[in-house]
Structure 1
Amino acid sequence: MKTIQKYKNFFSVLGQWLLFGIIIGIIVGSATAFLLETNDFLGELREEKNEWLFFLLPLGGIVIGYIYMTFGRVFLNNTLHDAAELNNLVIDGVHGKKQVLKRMGPIVYLATFITVLFGGSTGREGAAVQMGGSVAESVNKFFKLNIIDRKIILMSGISAGFGAAFGTPITGAIFGIEMAVLGKMKFEAIIPCLTASFVGHYIATAAWGVVHEELVIQTVPELSVITFAKVIVVSIIFSLLVILYCQLRHGIQKLSEKYLNKNHMKRAFVGGLIIVALTLIVGSQDYNGRGLDMLEQSFQEDVPPFAFLAKLIFTAVTLGTGFVGGEAIPLFFMGATLGNTLHTFIDLPMSFLAALGMIAAFSGGANTPIAAFLLAMEMFDGKGVEYFFIACLVSYIFSGHHGLWPSQQIQEPKSRLYHIVKGETIENIEKKRNP
């Protein structure tokens, strides 16, 4: 009888996780497909026919600020749950510190559309991840799940959003597990995360016809000690790029909150004015929006040598002042264009360096080396597997305890080289570093 009961419990839990993963995957995959198609339409609308729309970015910032200040804040148990914390709120939800708001999905959708239409420098996976968290929280509430299962289902929401946004279901499954904590992975969540990510991906592509961008590595260098040494050197450079971006992005956010009294409308309005001014100074809209054209170009031909720095500044100002979107695609852009620039100085193939920079920047910024490595495998059909593995680890270690999301918790420090206390968050470490 005990054996029968044990198997009943096993299949009951397994069935629930598969069911929840499928539900989340279907909803998130469909919503992500709408997000991607709408983002593409709005981006093309501004870039091809209405370039003047970027002048309206400050007004769009006021609208975004109003939406978040009016509808994005909820007090529960004397704690503020603010949708404007974006991915950080989802991470806090996984840790059980805060609650992901069900309204977060529609809010981040609208705010992302406004940001993209008017030329803010941002990506899209942030909206997909937050919407995934919002859907997962709705599932948690509907089925009245316990605290442990709630955390696991939130992870599956993250997985569904990422897998559907990039067409990388294996990466999505691991990203949902790896994102919240450095140095620890909760493999108990692998079944719902894998299910949600694969279902979300196939719903987006097979059911809704989403076609993801393809980036191709033309040539991979042969294995040699010299090439490995070069890969390590450039990976360290990419990690420094990540540190610069994270410090600038979070620094701008702190300064704008300090001097504008945490008023989201004022912050985004001023940020919009700065982006308009920067666009006029540069004389091009190459660094507004997602920048997919230059990202693809960096694999094929020379791009402006300081394109990575321009994108870094545009994105840090955009997101640091309260606009909304993802940071993965901007990181891809920065890493790939820096790799393109390094091609002038380092004897490695251009497309290979661009791909290496793209993946290494993501690994160091997101603090997800395993997911980044899998991303390279899925995006580039397994080419250069040994080099990408090294690049992900080197960038992850040398980027230190910086990161895109201050709420990430450090279960284990990256290395004994860093004197970091277990259980700290990146936010607390930054406060100690810059009191």
Structure 2
Amino acid sequence: MNTKLKYKIFFSTLFKWMFWGGIIGVIIGSTTALLLTTNDFLGNEIRDKNSWLIFFLPLGGIVIGYIYMNFGKSGGNDITKGNNLVIEGVHGIAKVLRRMGPFVYLGTFITVLLGGSTGREGAAIQMGGSVAEVVNQYYKVNILDTKILLMSGISAGFGAAFGTPITGAIFGMEMVAIGKLKYEAFVSCLVASFVGHYVTEGVWGVEHETFIIQSVPELSIMSFSKVIFMSIIFSLISVLYCQLRHGIQNVSEKYFKKNHMKRAFVGGCIIIILTLIVGSQDYNGRGLDMLEQSFKEDVPPFAFLAKLIFTAVTLGSGFVGGEAIPLFFMGATLGNALSGIIDLPMSFLAGLGMVAAFCGGANTPIAAFLLSVEMFEGKGMEYFFVACLISYIFSGHHGLWPSQTVFEPKSRLYNTVNGESIGTIEKKKKRD
């Protein structure tokens, strides 16, 4: 192949990746703006002012279950898998269904309106995968570029949902496999994430939440020691959440024979009971008010545990949404509660918990570190870098998404075979 032809192929491929990434970014930026605006309206303007809506959560679960059971399957692909289906699509072992995006948006709106505990990035990522699949089919994209576009959809969804375009670009490449960054998707992911972020904020004027770290401890061996210790705690909280959430899902699917209507109805009833026991709806919905409060003033000491249980029951029983914000909440409120004991600034420890807990659950240390840089304007980045690595290692081969493939084990001590998924590893542990 002569040099001229090589350059022609190179620039042609580069242009296609940028073009496709741009299209995905524009669409996802717009749909994410719709997601964020609608969630704010449903959560803040309607549910917060009408606390009685929580009693309709079981009925909302029946609606979501009916939709997913009757319209969520095609050719062996099941949208109830959520983000796992997108990951499997990248690995080429499943196909993302185009209807996934609209259905997960509808399910998320119902969940948020009626008081289920959930986040938003799951809906944005799944819409990203859905839009990427539409682009794949419309342009008849080859199999290798199909995987790249799916990762671009993930990047666009995450970057637009949190206003963190650099994090979004890396997250799309890092989320699908533990121990490997899929650099072949870098150009498309970068374009999709930045375009998605710009469209959400610049075009549609959507504002994201801000979390401000007031002060950072001076660099010292003692401070690093405290950060390492707390990072281990935050990683274990993420493991506890993941285990409880997947355990509830497995038990409910087995007991109700994968009847998602029954699962969600019972799950909604349990959430109502928990809400009445707690005597507050602080742990229903997204919980953004208390999350922001944890950076400024004291919150209830066991808020992290309440949110952990509420979210595990909500998503484990068949409701839909995201898990990043709940993990942010758990980590930040736990950091807030322990700030006096550990003798670190409250806002700093809340931010550290927020990022470390997410890192432990998502298994994305680089993206989590970049998230801290973008969200906190680089404050305490040395501490956050260490915290992300520690949380990543100590969380072991657990995580939010069982379909994540372990390309390279986190440590030889975990005795894990390359190429196995988190779900497969979990099943082997239970048999052993």
Q: TM-score, normalised by structure 1?
A: 0.98
Alignment of 1:242-257 (within 5 A): 242-257=238-253
Counterpart in the other structure of 1:307: 303
Matched, 1:71 2:71: yes
Counterpart in the other structure of 1:408: 404
* 1:423 counterpart (401, 419, 424): 419
Counterpart in the other structure of 1:222: 218
Which string of whole-angstrom CA distances, capped at 9 and with x for unpartnered residues, describes residues 157-193 of structure 1?
0000000000000000000000000011111110000
Q: Tell me which amino acid in the other structure corresponds to 1:86.
A: G
In 2, the alpha carbon distance for the partners of 1:47 and 1:238 equals 30
Q: Tell me which amino acid in the other structure corresponds to 2:376.
A: F
Counterpart in the other structure of 1:295: 291
In percent, how many aligned pairs have the same letter? 74
My pick for the range that moved more, 41-50 or 199-208, is 41-50
* Residue 49 of structure 1, CA deviation: 1.8
The alignment partner of 2:74 has SS state of strand
Q: Tell me which amino acid in the other structure corresponds to 1:323.
A: F
* Residue 344 of structure 1, CA deviation: 2.4
* Residue 44 of structure 1, CA deviation: 1.1
Alignment of 1:130-149 (within 5 A): 130-149=126-145
Which string of whole-angstrom CA distances, capped at 9 and with x for unpartnered residues, describes residues 336-362 of structure 1?
000001112111000000000000001
- Residues 47, 113 of structure 2: 8 Å contact kept: no
Alignment of 1:16-415 (within 5 A): 16-75=16-75, 80-415=76-411
In 2, the alpha carbon distance for the partners of 1:242 and 1:314 equals 14
* Residue 46 of structure 1, CA deviation: 3.7
In 2, the alpha carbon distance for the partners of 1:330 and 1:46 equals 21
In 1, the alpha carbon distance for the partners of 2:288 and 2:400 equals 20
- Residues 46, 118 of structure 1: 8 Å contact kept: no
- Residues 328, 355 of structure 2: 8 Å contact kept: yes
In 1, the alpha carbon distance for the partners of 2:6 and 2:240 equals 52
Q: Tell me which amino acid in the other structure corresponds to 2:7.
A: Y
In 1, the alpha carbon distance for the partners of 2:130 and 2:378 equals 33
Which string of whole-angstrom CA distances, capped at 9 and with x for unpartnered residues, describes residues 363-394 of structure 1?
11000000000000000000001000000000
* Residue 145 of structure 1, CA deviation: 1.1
* Residue 334 of structure 1, CA deviation: 0.1
Please give the root-mean-square deviation of Cα atoms over the aligned residues, in Å. Answer: 0.7
Counterpart in the other structure of 1:434: 430
In 1, the alpha carbon distance for the partners of 2:280 and 2:53 equals 13
User: Gapped runs of 5+ residues in structure 1?
Assistant: none
Counterpart in the other structure of 1:5: 5
Dislocated runs of 4+, deviation >4 Å? none
Q: Tell me which amino acid in the other structure corresponds to 2:301.
A: P
In 2, the alpha carbon distance for the partners of 1:122 and 1:186 equals 29
My pick for the range that moved more, 59-68 or 138-147, is 138-147
Q: Tell me which amino acid in the other structure corresponds to 1:60.
A: G
Q: Tell me which amino acid in the other structure corresponds to 2:17.
A: W
Corresponding residue pairs, total: 431
Q: TM-score, normalised by structure 2?
A: 0.99
